[in-house]
Amino acid sequence: MEDSVDSSLPGPERAAAAAARVKPLLAPALAKHGLAVGDPVFLRAFKEEKELEVWMQPDGADRFVLFRTYPIAATSGKPGPKLAEGDRQVPEGFYYFSRRGLKSDSRFHLAMNIGYPNTYDRHHGRTGSFIMIHGNRVSIGCLAMTDPGIEEIYTLCDAALAGGQRFIRVHLFPFRMTDARMKEASSNHRWIEFWRNLKEGHDHFEQARVPPDTVVEGGRYGFRGADASLD
């Protein structure tokens, strides 16, 4: 059975116990990449592959490096964005959360609220709330990471925010947006133009290894250098 702390603990105690459990386990793996707990974090997830990547920025470095890829235990819905409250869709797009997005008292062990709906979603009349990356193995529009998995991810995000990172970006894609995979998507698919727009942001990060600032212009996502103002 996988190890995790007692979910019945009060939220702050649960988060502290999780951090105490996983930090010694994370430290040697982080060190291999020149990283440490508290370094800036960026999260990127792919629904089709059920994978969530944790990228981190080493102290003094200009670019992020991939620390670890976690299997997503459960998602829900189908390819395409979340449109409405209750549709059970996992969103697709560009999101972020600050310290207030951390939910140590989640009924799914630990969680981070990704900030859906964002400016793009609201522009297009999309509704919904409480979309999380959380523990457990059940999803109704969220990314369920298992309790041991979320303890590591939550601890890294909590430490980064406590260390001065203002917000953590979360990029959610329908699938790995390679040129080959995009060619497989039908040109007549309902969401193909939306996905092409997402690929612009995906490719920005692939080239720069720094997550771009995301803006909404004319109902589309636009991408600029990092550290500009948020959407």
Interval 107-128 mean pLDDT: 97
The pTM for the full model equals 0.95
Query: What domains are defined for the chain?
Result: 11-224 (2.40.440.10)
Choice among 142, 157, 171, 202 that is catalytic? 142
Q: What is residue 226's predicted lDDT score, i.e. its pLDDT?
A: 60
Clarify whether 157 is annotated catalytic: no
| Residue 134: active-site member | yes
The sign one gets for the Cα dihedral 13, 70, 225, 200 is: negative
- Rounded to an integer, what distance in angstroms lies between the CA atom of residue 218 and that of residue 135? 36
Quote the pLDDT of residue 2: 72
Q: Using CA atoms, how far apart are residues 110 and 108, in angstroms rounded to an integer?
A: 6
Q: How far is CA 29 from the centre of its chain?
A: 20
Q: Which residue has the tokens 């997005």?
A: 101
pLDDT value of position 1: 39
Q: Is the dihedral of CA 117, 137, 103, 164 positive or negative?
A: negative
Calculate ∠ Cα 167-91-198, nearest 5°.
Answer: 80
Smallest CA-to-CA distance from 53 within 64, 61, 63, 62 is with 64
Percent of the chain with pLDDT over 70: 97
220-224 and 213-217 beta bridge pairing: antiparallel
Higher-pLDDT residue of 135, 185? 135
In the chain, % of residues over pLDDT 90: 94
Residues 222 and 144: their CA atoms lie apart, in Å, by 29
The pLDDT assigned to 106 comes to 97
Q: Which of 33, 109, 124, 134 is catalytic?
A: 134
pLDDT in tens, 35-92: 999 999 999 999 999 999 999 999 999 999 999 999 999 999 999 999 999 999 999 9
Query: Per-residue pLDDT for 7 more than 70?
Result: yes
130 Cβ neighbours under 8 A, 6+ residues apart: 113
Q: What is the pLDDT of residues 198-222, one digit of tens each?
A: 999 999 999 999 999 999 999 999 9
Model confidence pLDDT, tens digit, residues 164-175: 999 999 999 999
Q: What is the pLDDT of residue 228?
A: 36
Segment 124-140, tens digit of pLDDT: 999 999 999 999 999 99
